[in-house]
């Protein structure tokens, strides 16, 4: 079985909008996959279903052996501990330092301080922020904040890293650096990466698998894809 299996999945919101219609795809362990599409195409819904922020209305979504539609609210944390999420708006806690922000997830899992410390420092080293451990998020640049967010996502060494437009708020130069970090995580840690993005340049340069979604329907799934959504519609 593949690491992520989506079978005949539908998502209809309460206001009647169909965000995803009859979507079927699978992703293997260690893959690097871009999900592209216009705003409102349903790609965010797809991403959100992977970490159970949304439930599919019909069909199956299975992530690492966990069936999303059957997962109870109080058990959502079990899924989230197995994956890391990187957000466009970073979602860092402003009152906590860089170190504390990354240690946050491990603390909640009840790890000892002396177990937490090496893990946090390792994650921060991987994203190249070891000197900024004591800084607060508002003292960092956007790119640095995104690195903290990535460090938090990988501190638990998850099998899957979900990136929801991680470069959406960053300039092209900084975006490049962030992509380097994400790519190295994919290569060195073997982490499966699913990244939703608008950034045509990044997609075309990386030459990875590209899944294109328009109006909730899968329009192309190309192993060495380019950003072609515009031409197709």
Partner 1 sequence: MKMFRVLGRNIRDAFKSVFRNFSLSIASITCSTITLILVAIAVVISANVNNATSELEKDLTIEVFVDLDLTNSDIEHIRNQIAALPNVSSDNITYISGEQWKNDLIHESDDIKAILETLETNPLRSSFEVAVDDVNELSETTQNIKKINGVFDAKYGEGKAENFIKVFDVIEKITIIIVVALIVVTAFLISNTIKLTIFSRRSEIEIMRLVGTSNTIIRLPFLFEGLILGIIGSIIPALLTIYGYVLSYDKLGGYVYSNIIPLIKPFSFVLYVSLFVMALGALVGMFGSYRAVRKYLKI
| Beta carbon of residue 220, minimum distance to partner 1 (angstroms, whole number) | 30
Contact criterion met (CB below 8 Å) for 182 and 193: yes
| Beta carbon of residue 72, minimum distance to partner 1 (angstroms, whole number) | 10
Q: Interaction with partner 1 in 31-90: which residues (CB under 8 A)?
A: 51, 73-74, 76-82, 85
Three-state SS for the chain is CCCEEEEEEEEECCCCCEEEEEEEEEECCCCEEEEECCCCCCHHHHHHHHCCCCCCCEEEEEECCEEHHHCCHHHHHHHHCCEEEECCCCCCCCCCCHHHHHHHHHHHCCCCHHHHHHHHHHHHHHCCCHHHCCCCHHHCCHHHHHHHHHHHHHCCCCCEEEEECCCCCCCHHHHHHHHHHHHHHHHHHCCEEEEEECCHHHHHHHCCEEEEEECCEEEEEECCCCCCHHHHC
| Beta carbon of residue 47, minimum distance to partner 1 (angstroms, whole number) | 13
Structure-block tokens of residue 32: 């690097």
| Beta carbon of residue 2, minimum distance to partner 1 (angstroms, whole number) | 23
Q: Nearer to partner 1 by C-beta: 74 or 230?
A: 74
Q: Count residues binding partner 1 (CB under 8 A).
A: 23
| Beta carbon of residue 110, minimum distance to partner 1 (angstroms, whole number) | 4
Distance (Å, whole) CA 90 – CA 147: 9
Q: Interaction with partner 1 in 101-160: which residues (CB under 8 A)?
A: 104-105, 107-110, 112, 152, 156
Q: Interaction with partner 1 in 169-208: which residues (CB under 8 A)?
A: none
Which of 91, 180, 205, 207 is in the footprint of partner 1 by CB under 8 A? 91
User: What angle, rounded to 10 degrees, do the helices at 113-126 and 142-154 form?
Assistant: 130
| Beta carbon of residue 85, minimum distance to partner 1 (angstroms, whole number) | 6
Q: Nearer to partner 1 by C-beta: 17 or 93?
A: 93
**Stretch touching partner 1 by CB under 8 A, among 29-37, 99-107, 167-175, 203-211:** 99-107
Q: Nearer to partner 1 by C-beta: 51 or 99?
A: 51
Q: Nearer to partner 1 by C-beta: 21 or 86?
A: 86
Q: Nearer to partner 1 by C-beta: 117 or 176?
A: 117
Q: Nearer to partner 1 by C-beta: 48 or 126?
A: 48
194: β partners? 33, 162
Q: Which residues form the interface with partner 1 (CB under 8 A)?
A: 51, 73-74, 76-82, 85, 91-93, 104-105, 107-110, 112, 152, 156
């Amino acid at each position: 079985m593949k690491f992520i299996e989506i079978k005949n999945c539908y998502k209809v919101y309460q206001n009647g909008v169909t965000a995803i219609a009859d979507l079927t795809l699978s992703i293997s362990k260690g893959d690097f996959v871009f999900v592209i599409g216009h705003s409102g195409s349903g790609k965010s819904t797809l991403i959100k279903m992977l970490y159970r922020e949304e439930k599919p209305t019909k069909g199956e979504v299975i992530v690492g052996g966990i069936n999303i539609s059957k997962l109870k609210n109080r058990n959502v944390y079990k899924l989230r501990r197995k994956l890391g999420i990187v957000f466009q708006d970073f979602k860092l806690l402003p009152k906590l330092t860089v170190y504390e922000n990354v240690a946050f997830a491990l603390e909640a899992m009840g790890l000892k301080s002396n177990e937490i410390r090496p893990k946090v420092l390792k994650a921060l080293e991987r994203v190249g922020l070891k000197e900024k451990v004591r800084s607060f998020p508002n003292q960092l640049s956007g790119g640095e904040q995104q690195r903290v967010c990535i460090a938090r996502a990988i501190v638990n060494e998850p099998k899957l890293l979900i990136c929801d437009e991680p470069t959406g708020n960053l300039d092209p130069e900084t975006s490049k650096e962030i992509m380097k970090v994400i790519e190295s995580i994919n290569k060195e840690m073997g982490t499966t990466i699913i990244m939703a993005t608008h950034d045509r340049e990044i997609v075309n340069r990386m030459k990875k698998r590209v899944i294109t979604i328009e109006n909730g329907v899968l329009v192309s799934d190309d192993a060495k894809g380019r950003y072609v959504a515009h031409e197709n519609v």
